[in-house]
């Protein structure tokens, strides 16, 4: 919800909501507001669930550059590292993890002895340090731009980092056929999605629920759903 809206935008599972702000000032204001709140700051937009306000920083993933989904954010990296560390110390891998740590500590000891220099190494080779040294990355090398967006949403969902996805100016970057593939994935995975657009596009209007603010800030609602 926002002071400019006559009624709230209902973000349902598997439905693509489109918020069009043809006024540059309104578009900029909404985007800056979303950006600030996703970073934990205050703003005018309100996200609620079951009539209770919930923080956007813990529920919304915002992508301002749809061609460059960020898989290396601190939230994603830390969540992956935490999960992998717990897995490494779990029953099925704890013995292998301890053996690896012991082998590395012994190797470094031999390496420093052979190098013959006044150096020392931390004998406690932690799992966290090993994982960070491995420079783990989400594998999207052979993915199309649409597939990368799908993976971006999947990563946030699997790590429980977001349950609402907001894309800024998405429709200017993709063809109708590409958008259909993305919309199909959104319906299949039941993602809650909002597109923030500066221009109203006529393609795929039948598969979207659109709220339009024209250049004069007049509000027009298209109730078409997927």
Average pLDDT on 169-194 reads: 97
Average pLDDT on 25-53 reads: 94
- Closest by CA to 128, choosing from 92, 160, 89, 170, is 89
Q: What pLDDT is stored for residue 106 in this prediction? A: 87
**Residue pLDDT, tens place only, 133-143:** 888 899 999 99
Domains (ranges, CATH) in the chain? 16-71+140-222 (3.40.50.11940), 76-134 (no CATH)
pLDDT at position 226 over 50? no
**Residue pLDDT, tens place only, 143-169:** 999 999 999 999 999 999 999 999 999
In angstroms, the CA 222 to CA 199 distance is 15
Predicted confidence band of residue 125 (pLDDT cuts 50, 70, 90): confident
Higher pLDDT, 6 or 213: 213
Average pLDDT on 83-100 reads: 92
Q: How far is CA 5 from CA 32, 124, 217, 224, in A?
A: 17, 56, 10, 18
What pTM does this model have? 0.87
Residues above pLDDT 70, as percent of the chain: 96
């Amino acid at each position: 919800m926002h002071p400019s809206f006559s009624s709230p935008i209902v973000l349902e599972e598997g439905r693509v909501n489109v918020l069009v702000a043809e006024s540059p000032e309104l578009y900029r204001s909404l985007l800056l507001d979303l950006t600030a709140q996703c970073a934990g700051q205050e703003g005018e937009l309100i996200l609620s669930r079951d009539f209770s306000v919930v923080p956007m920083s813990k529920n919304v993933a915002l992508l301002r550059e749809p061609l460059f989904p960020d898989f290396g954010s601190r939230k994603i990296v830390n969540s992956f590292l935490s999960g992998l560390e717990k897995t490494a110390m779990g029953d099925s891998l704890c013995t292998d993890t301890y053996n690896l740590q012991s082998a590395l500590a012994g190797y470094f000891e031999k390496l420093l002895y052979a190098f013959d220099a006044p150096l020392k190494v931390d004998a406690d080779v932690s799992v966290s340090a090993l994982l960070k040294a491995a420079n783990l990355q989400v594998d999207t090398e052979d993915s199309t731009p649409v597939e990368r967006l799908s993976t971006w949403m999947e990563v946030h969902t699997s790590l429980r980092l977001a349950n609402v996805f907001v894309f800024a100016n998405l429709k200017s970057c993709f063809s109708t056929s590409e958008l259909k593939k993305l919309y199909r994935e959104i319906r299949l995975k039941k993602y809650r999605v909002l597109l923030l657009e500066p221009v109203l596009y006529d393609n795929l209007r039948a598969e979207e629920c659109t709220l339009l603010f024209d250049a004069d800030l007049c509000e027009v609602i298209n109730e078409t759903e997927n």
